[in-house]
Structure 1
Amino acid sequence: MAHRMGSWATIALAAVLLTGGAVAPAAVAAPSAAGSPAEVVPTMIVLDASGSMLESDAPGPRIDAAKDAATALVNGFPAGAHVGLMVYGTGTGSADSEKDAGCQDVRTLVPVGEVDAAAMTAQIAGIQASGYTPIGRALSDAAAALPGGAGAIVLVSDGIDTCAPPDPCEVARGLASSGVELTVHTVGFRVDDAARAQLACIADATGGTYADAQDDGQLAEALRVKVDYALTGYETRGTPIAGSLTADGNPPAIGPGQWLDEFRAEDLSAVATGGEESFLHYRLEVPEGYRPHVTASLIPTAASAPVPDLYSGVSVSLTGAAGADCGMTRDAVGAAEETAFPPTAALTSECDGPLILAVRRDGTALTDRDLPVEILVRLEPPVDAAGLPSPGARPGPAAPVPDAATATPLAGGGSFNTAADIFPGQTYRSQIGTSEVKFFKVRLDWGQQLSYTVTQDRRLDGGDRMNVIGPQVRSPLRAALPMAEGSSQNLVWMTESDPSFRTLSRSTPEPVRFGSTDYALPGEYYIVLADRSGAREFVLDSFLIEVTVSGGPESGPRPLIDTPSPASSPQATTEPDASHVGGSGAVGPVALVVGGGILLVGAAIVGAVLLRRRRSL
């Protein structure tokens, strides 16, 4: 079969940025091979056992609250977790004559390794508070105790470092600049302004997050969340591939499936003008009549510290002979959201034959970091859409207000790859805190459309400080989608906020139908909730979510060819062949997905746009 592209109706390309515009990046799981679970990030927990932890205002001794919080964690670690435990301040008193020894007093109670719950619990029970607060030394020792110095540290302290030098914030900056993927999350337990600023500086320097805790309950919750961030983060999936830095020669072949590559910091200066962009190139074979869909996602890493007012992002393009433009994302730099609109006219013969897919990293943020990139490739076969309903607006019924009395607990996923399934007619209760992103997914078939309602259930932690939740619906290709009410509306959750900001009900403006600009594919649609407050102080809210799926299912388009769609690369086994999905006669592309980690935490941005990093406050 000739590889000619002149009969294409459309080419869809998009660039997706996963980051925390107002969301700090969390620890990032190491890239996992296709179909395998993400690696859990090695984590060292560092507890303050200095003399001030004997204060009885938790209520009760602070050290008892810290020990109770750590003990409660132990049995909840995920399978395969590698966690260690350090303390400082247990070996000396607080007298001036003991300062030299006290400032070296950092002890490893449990080395980083697969968790032995009984052994760790016994070590926690034996902690006695008495001495100094050598935070800088503890950070250095904790980093040295992690395999290769990479992973995460979760530090709990009730006060400022009493041993500097070394200054703990300078230690954190040194760790961040070492080139090793290391994140430090910090919890301030009943701290004053000076200690809060120091602990927040440590977290910011390494791309971590800071939380305040004022009593034993808040400490237990903040420690749980920080360790959960550290251990998991954004789960990456995909078949490893190494793109060429230039289009010359013979770039590696890429096809339908899920792929994972990496932009290296060293290549920015080696290839790009001004050191602000670099390229990865692949060779894509597109049979006659097929339409390619390509999405690239740039994932901030665990060591990606906030960079105010700077951007880092990706764009994608397809070129043919002599560099002919065969499909490129619309320029959207600086936009919050943008969808790539492909050309609709037939392309020239210069787009016959193999195409070059170029994924470009650009922007001035994070140029000193290696960043993973996911690439999603789909090939859609030619179809017969005669007799099918035409796309168009149709009002969707509102989802009911969720009923707290019947809610089912659901954690929510930390990435597109681990999004939690939700089903119509069921109320779910979940939680979201500062810097978190929650991913849910619901199946839509041809002719169906989605409505959802999200409402604040109750404030679990954080007093009157705000959680600003930005909800989005995203397509099976991860593109941000318009909703019937227009532009996205944020939810502002406080203990005493305007009730109109506590609940949001929205619906998609049209059903899923072939030929639609936005709702043209059956499959998994994502509801993504991201905290956009940018606050350092930890806030945790319980919320309720319920969805309604209305209409359909209808018949989809029929293939015009008898031969199967192009086979995925033998290595690209993450996703099944999805050429025929969504019910009788349904036709859709083959998916290729690669995930990389944030943050968590992070919100997905579509278009040739780069993310604005969380502004330091």
Structure 2
Amino acid sequence: MAAVLCAAVGLPGQTFAAAAPVPYVFAEGAERVRATSSTADAPPLVAGHTYRDSIGPDEKRYYRLDLDARTNAHVSAVGVPKPGADVHYADGLKVSVLDASSHPCDQGQTRNFGSATYPRPLSATAARLIEPDARRCGTAGVYYVLVQRTTRASSSREAWELEIRHQAEPGLKKAGQTEAPRSWPSASPGPPTGGARKRHGGTGFNDASTLAGGEWRDEITPGQTLFYRVPVDWGQQIHADVGLHNAEGGRKGIVGGALAFSLHNPARTFVAGHHSMLYDGELKTVSLDPLPPVAYENRFDSSDRVGGMRLAGWYYLRVTLSPEVGTVFGDGAYGVTLRVAVQGSRKAGPAYAAASREFGLPGKGPQAVDKARPGGQDGRSGVMRVVAAAGIGTGSVLVLGLGVWTLLARRRAGAGAAGPGSMGSGYGAPPGR
């Protein structure tokens, strides 16, 4: 019992080993389902709900959607390999939405590990979008979600845990422009002001930490993945970069694909990223290429970086540090700095036929935002999850609680305040609204 307590928090005056990184925190209350290898008995996915399943190597899993002729359907699947699993660059996950004749409703998305061949959560998405003059997928009826996992023979054979989410987006009152913009402002924001603030990232989309515009400091251990979320409204652009600071101890070496950095939209769709950082133990920084402002019309472009910027709401930044960095330079924590800017004035959104309950930002009528908790700000940190999972007795929890709340209070005191709906106009501190 004492070992559990020590590993969980590290009470004052004592030194304890760091706990292993949590691979991914799934949505609370997610319903367990078991997909089928045939469309015949595929379990239904209800809009606004999150589900849990698993998928084995090279498996195909089917789910059912019952859709009307007015609503856009966005479906995401997050595959979570076990820590330490052997993965190949081509191992990955693909999601498709199919009509009753197995025709795909869009390109779907395939995500694999690429040159950064180490295990981390992979998010792939697909959608049924209502488009003018579409030849298929525009009618009400039964549709199917197909999730496929690709696995090379030399890779680990364990099943991956899956998180499946179906999100609904209302159709438009009347058809509008159907061409994505061809150009947009590409100027980089000015340097951040006000100094770096501390904020520890969450383990996934569900507990991603909220960031406003500015400079943010964190620490990451080899093999760990951290998630952050940034509010981006219609008409606004997001800029972001991440710096991996120098390794301590003077070790020499080079690690390819040392850090994977990516941006995902409110439907969890991959938008842009980098995973080819060459790290030699000195400070290295990677930046997202200039992205277009958020606009409904972006969805008519087939590229990730334009088509992905089609929804207002929380945009997610994901950072993973390669386990090889620990092998070459040591297993301690490494400093990372994220610089985030949200530029441009908020614009009126599309003329939806109904209120959007899945997408958007707080404080805008009946719209409800993705229910992700700002990690490290609500008192339910990873520490408390460890305590809950360990099933510690009541008396031990009371003693443990003192150390936990002291730790949290110190962390809050050292962190800058950034509410879930706050955002900056540039790299500087966010203005009042």
d(CA) in 2 for partners of 1:240 and 1:43?
34
- Asked whether 1:301 is paired with 2:94, we answer no
State the 1:289 CA deviation. 1.9
- Asked whether 1:415 is paired with 2:207, we answer no
SS of the aligned residue for 1:447 comes to coil
Matches within 5 A, 1:333-372: 346-348=134-136, 352-364=140-152, 368-372=157-161
Go from structure 1 to structure 2 and tell me whether the alpha carbon gap of 1:248 and 1:377 turns closer, same or farther (over 3 Å shift): closer
Go from structure 1 to structure 2 and tell me whether the alpha carbon gap of 1:350 and 1:528 turns closer, same or farther (over 3 Å shift): closer
Structure 2 counterpart of 1:520: 310
Structure 1 counterpart of 2:348: 555
d(CA) in 1 for partners of 2:196 and 2:109?
42
**What is the root-mean-square deviation in Å for CA atoms of aligned residues?**
4.3
Structure 2 counterpart of 1:252: 43
d(CA) in 2 for partners of 1:385 and 1:588?
24
State the 1:293 CA deviation. 1.2
SS of the aligned residue for 1:443 comes to strand
- Asked whether 1:431 is paired with 2:198, we answer no
State the 1:550 CA deviation. 0.8
Matches within 5 A, 1:71-470: 74=6, 77-78=8-9, 223-224=17-18, 227-229=19-21, 232-237=22-27, 239-263=30-54, 265=56, 276-302=57-83, 305-307=85-87, 309=88, 312-327=91-106, 329=108, 346-348=134-136, 352-364=140-152, 368-383=157-172, 384=174, 386=176, 391-401=181-191, 406-425=195-214, 427-460=215-248, 463-465=251-253, 468-470=258-260
State the 1:578 CA deviation. 1.9
d(CA) in 2 for partners of 1:43 and 1:234?
25
Go from structure 1 to structure 2 and tell me whether the alpha carbon gap of 1:361 and 1:580 turns closer, same or farther (over 3 Å shift): same
Between stretches 323-332 and 583-592, larger displacement belongs to 583-592
Structure 1 counterpart of 2:380: none
Whether the 8 Å CA contact 2:206–2:371 is kept in 1: the answer is no
Go from structure 1 to structure 2 and tell me whether the alpha carbon gap of 1:256 and 1:460 turns closer, same or farther (over 3 Å shift): farther
Larger Rg: 1
d(CA) in 2 for partners of 1:326 and 1:465?
47
- Asked whether 1:502 is paired with 2:284, we answer yes
Higher helix residue share: 1
State the 1:522 CA deviation. 0.9
State the 1:443 CA deviation. 0.6
- Spell out, residue by residue over 1:106-142, the C-alpha distance to the aligned partner (whole angstroms, 9 max, x if none): xxxxxxxxx9x69x96xxxxxxxxxxxxxxxxxxxxx
Go from structure 1 to structure 2 and tell me whether the alpha carbon gap of 1:352 and 1:402 turns closer, same or farther (over 3 Å shift): closer
Letter in 1 for 2:201: G
d(CA) in 2 for partners of 1:461 and 1:289?
60
- Asked whether 1:529 is paired with 2:310, we answer no
User: Unmatched 5+ residue regions in structure 2?
Assistant: 116-121, 299-306, 374-433
- Spell out, residue by residue over 1:557-590, the C-alpha distance to the aligned partner (whole angstroms, 9 max, x if none): 11235xx67xxxxxxxxxxx32565776998998
Identity %: 20
Letter in 1 for 2:99: G
Larger RCO (CA under 8 A, 6+ residues apart) = 1
Go from structure 1 to structure 2 and tell me whether the alpha carbon gap of 1:423 and 1:281 turns closer, same or farther (over 3 Å shift): same
State the 1:551 CA deviation. 0.2
Whether the 8 Å CA contact 1:243–1:281 is kept in 2: the answer is no
Whether the 8 Å CA contact 1:396–1:550 is kept in 2: the answer is no
Structure 2 counterpart of 1:488: 274
Go from structure 1 to structure 2 and tell me whether the alpha carbon gap of 1:324 and 1:548 turns closer, same or farther (over 3 Å shift): closer
SS of the aligned residue for 2:274 comes to coil
Whether the 8 Å CA contact 1:471–1:490 is kept in 2: the answer is no
Go from structure 1 to structure 2 and tell me whether the alpha carbon gap of 1:408 and 1:475 turns closer, same or farther (over 3 Å shift): same
Letter in 2 for 1:488: H
TM-score normalised according to structure 1 size: 0.48
Go from structure 1 to structure 2 and tell me whether the alpha carbon gap of 1:400 and 1:436 turns closer, same or farther (over 3 Å shift): farther
Residue of structure 1 aligned with 2:293, choices 511, 514, 519: 511
Letter in 2 for 1:315: K
SS of the aligned residue for 1:524 comes to strand
Whether the 8 Å CA contact 1:439–1:529 is kept in 2: the answer is yes
Whether the 8 Å CA contact 1:412–1:419 is kept in 2: the answer is yes
Structure 1 counterpart of 2:423: none
- Spell out, residue by residue over 1:74-123, the C-alpha distance to the aligned partner (whole angstroms, 9 max, x if none): 3x835xxxxxxxxxxxxxxxxxxxxxxxxxxxxxxxxxxxx9x69x96xx
d(CA) in 2 for partners of 1:374 and 1:325?
21
Letter in 2 for 1:441: R
TM-score normalised according to structure 2 size: 0.65
d(CA) in 1 for partners of 2:251 and 2:192?
24
Go from structure 1 to structure 2 and tell me whether the alpha carbon gap of 1:253 and 1:454 turns closer, same or farther (over 3 Å shift): closer
User: Unmatched 5+ residue regions in structure 1?
Assistant: 1-41, 46-72, 79-114, 122-219, 266-275, 566-576, 594-617
- Spell out, residue by residue over 1:406-463, the C-alpha distance to the aligned partner (whole angstroms, 9 max, x if none): 32222222222222211113x3221223222222221100111112343355544563
Letter in 2 for 1:257: G
State the 1:281 CA deviation. 2.4
Whether the 8 Å CA contact 2:313–2:360 is kept in 1: the answer is no
